[in-house]
């Protein structure tokens, strides 16, 4: 891997600068850096926009049907119908999880994504096959994209005996986090579900990421139960609640109490600007209160629906659109969420446009970073750890 100097880029939060990369790390950021002799590649950025690598903090790479022909979707409206439909389809179509996760990872890389947190379904029908497929993809592509894996009981955990044992096996074999799911409506025993999730978190010393679709007061009750367990275990800063639709469906006084709970326990919230007319977390209010916010694309072209794409600039657009953001400072907030904020939530210490951090960079044509959220031009170049992984020069 050659060292390189990228001249004349409009870097997020830095303005027009040159960037020097040495041994895969950002070595220098400054105006008119002098040329160095030796085996250094010089790239003329021609004033292009430069972002740190995009971060998807909530993906389901194992679910994707990309490359398998168009899937005519006729799934029913309820959550349970979607879960059952997917489990049935996987068996019928004999999904190759290594192939599918590779396909979706390659699309992610082309859109400038350098870090992904992906859930992986674990159930008593497919066992660990989705986990094993994604773990192999993670290893194959480790120089091109960083993937965190969450062991996730999509079909229920206590309701399907044998699932906990499979999740523990995944955690023993390289899963990075333990995931939970709607403790009241799926397992129908919220305390027992969460006790089991936090037991595994402690046993394997892993962070927690819980899908919470439960609405209104029911979801708010689950948030309180999660916060209690976070505090009891001393897991502050190690828990994320994904979706948290309930935060948009409770009265003001209750919302403020939950925000205080999230802050006290340093619990992060993932919101992806979901389709539909249901309630969503108030992203700007939470962000400005200091709650750690992150986002992701959820499933890409899967049995749940075809609308998502593995492009974090599109996700930024959707998050802005769903929250009625119009001002530049609001869209800049969303850009922070698809980059630095999501990376912090994932604890990627080497991330960021700073000297000494990993050279994970995306170059795009355009006038301003905010405009790129609307125009979403093709990625001109993507660099991961100092290696050019997409080159459209
Ligand atoms: Zn999800």
Q: Please give the distance, rounded to the nearest whole angstrom, from the Cα atom of residue 166 to the centre of ligand 1.
A: 19
Q: For residue 38, count CB atoms less than 10 angstroms from its CB and return exposed for 0-12, middle for 13-18, buried for 19 or more.
A: exposed
CA of 181 to the centre of ligand 1 (A): 9
Q: Residue 100 C-alpha to ligand 1 middle, in angstroms?
A: 17
Q: Ligand 1 centre from 213 Cα, in Å?
A: 9
pLDDT at site 35: 75
Report yes or no for ipTM above 0.95.
yes
Q: Residue range 317-341: average pLDDT?
A: 98
Q: How far is the CA of 326 from the centre of ligand 1 (A)?
A: 27
Residue 33 binned pLDDT confidence (cut-offs 50, 70, 90): confident
Q: Are 63 and 304 in contact (CB under 8 A)?
A: yes
Say if residue 189's pLDDT is above 90. Answer: yes
Give the pLDDT confidence score for residue 160 in this predicted structure.
94
Q: What are phi and psi of 389, to 5 degrees?
A: -105, -20
How many Å lie between the centroid of ligand 1 and the Cα of residue 272? 9
From the list 393, 331, 348, 317, the residue with the least C-alpha distance to 52 is 348
**Model confidence pLDDT, tens digit, residues 242-278:** 999 999 999 999 999 999 999 999 999 999 999 888 9
Q: Stretch 125-147: mean pLDDT, rounded?
A: 97
Ligand 1 centroid from CA 185, angstroms? 16
**155-169: average pLDDT:** 96
Cβ atoms of residues 291 and 260 within 8 Å: no
Q: Helix axis angle, 216-233 relative to 190-204, nearest 10°?
A: 30
251 token code pair: 């009265």
User: Has residue 320 got a pLDDT over 80?
Assistant: yes
Token pair listed for 21: 């990369």
Ligand 1 center to residue 58 CA distance, Å? Answer: 6
The confidence score (pLDDT) of residue 215 equals 95
Query: How far is ligand 1, taken at its centre, from the CA of residue 110, in Å?
Result: 22
**What would the mean pLDDT of 326-338 be, rounded to a whole number?**
98
Distance of CA 89 from the midpoint of ligand 1 (Å): 18
| CB 244, CB 271: distance < 8 Å | yes
Q: Sign (positive/negative) of CA torsion 265, 185, 307, 109?
A: positive
pLDDT digits (tens, 9 = 90+) for 48-81: 999 999 999 999 999 999 999 998 999 888 888 9
Ligand 1 centroid to residue 203 C-alpha, Å: 24
pLDDT band (50, 70, 90) for residue 1: confident
Q: How far, in Å, is the centroid of ligand 1 from the Cα of 219?
A: 16
Share of the chain above pLDDT 70, in %: 100
Q: What is the DSSP letter of 305?
A: B
What are the chain's domains? Answer: 3-52+351-391 (2.30.40.10), 54-345 (3.20.20.140)
CA 60 – ligand 1 centroid, Å = 6
Q: How far away, in angstroms, is 298 Cα from ligand 1 center?
A: 5
pLDDT at residue 213 greater than cutoff 80: yes
Stretch 315-331: mean pLDDT: 98
Question: Does position 124 have pLDDT exceeding 90, yes or no?
Answer: yes
| pLDDT given at position 80 | 87
Ligand 1 centroid distance, CA of 257 (Å): 25
């Amino acid at each position: 891997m050659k060292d390189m100097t990228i001249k004349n880029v409009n870097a997020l939060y830095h303005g027009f600068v040159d960037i020097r990369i040495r041994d895969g790390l950002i070595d220098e950021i400054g105006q008119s850096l002098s040329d160095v002799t030796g085996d250094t590649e010089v790239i003329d950025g021609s004033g292009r926009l430069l972002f740190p690598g995009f971060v998807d903090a909530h993906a389901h790479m194992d679910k994707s049907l990309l490359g398998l022909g168009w899937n005519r979707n006729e799934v029913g409206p309820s959550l349970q119908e979607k879960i059952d439909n997917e489990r049935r389809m996987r068996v019928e179509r004999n999904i190759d999880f290594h192939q599918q996760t590779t396909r979706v990872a390659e699309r992610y890389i082309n859109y400038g994504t350098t870090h992904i947190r992906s859930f992986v379904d674990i159930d008593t029908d497919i066992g660990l096959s989705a986990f094993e497929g994604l773990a192999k993809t993670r290893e194959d592509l480790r120089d091109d994209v960083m993937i965190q894996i969450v062991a996730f009981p999509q079909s229920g955990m206590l309701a399907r005996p044998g699932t906990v044992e499979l999740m523990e096996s995944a955690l023993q074999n390289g899963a990075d986090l333990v995931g939970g799911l709607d403790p009241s409506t799926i397992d129908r025993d919220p305390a027992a579900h969460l006790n089991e999730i936090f037991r595994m978190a402690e046993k394997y010393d892993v962070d927690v990421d819980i899908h919470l679709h439960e609405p209104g007061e029911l979801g708010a009750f689950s948030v309180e139960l999660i916060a209690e367990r976070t505090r009891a275990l001393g897991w502050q800063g190690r828990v994320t609640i994904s979706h948290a639709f309930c935060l948009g469906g409770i009265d003001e006084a209750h919302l403020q109490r939950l925000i205080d709970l999230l802050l006290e326990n340093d619990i992060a919230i993932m919101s992806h600007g979901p389709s539909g007319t249901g309630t969503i977390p108030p992203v700007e209010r939470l962000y400005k209160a200091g709650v750690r916010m992150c986002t992701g694309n959820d499933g890409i072209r899967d049995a749940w629906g075809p609308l998502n794409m593995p492009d974090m600039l599109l996700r930024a657009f959707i998050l802005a659109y769903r929250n009625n953001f119009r001002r530049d400072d609001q869209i800049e907030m969303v850009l922070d969420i698809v980059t630095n904020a999501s990376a912090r939530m994932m604890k990627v210490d080497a991330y960021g446009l700073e000297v000494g951090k990993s050279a994970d960079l995306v170059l795009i044509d355009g006038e301003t970073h905010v405009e790129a959220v609307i125009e979403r031009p093709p990625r001109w170049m993507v660099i991961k750890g100092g290696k050019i992984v997409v080159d459209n020069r």
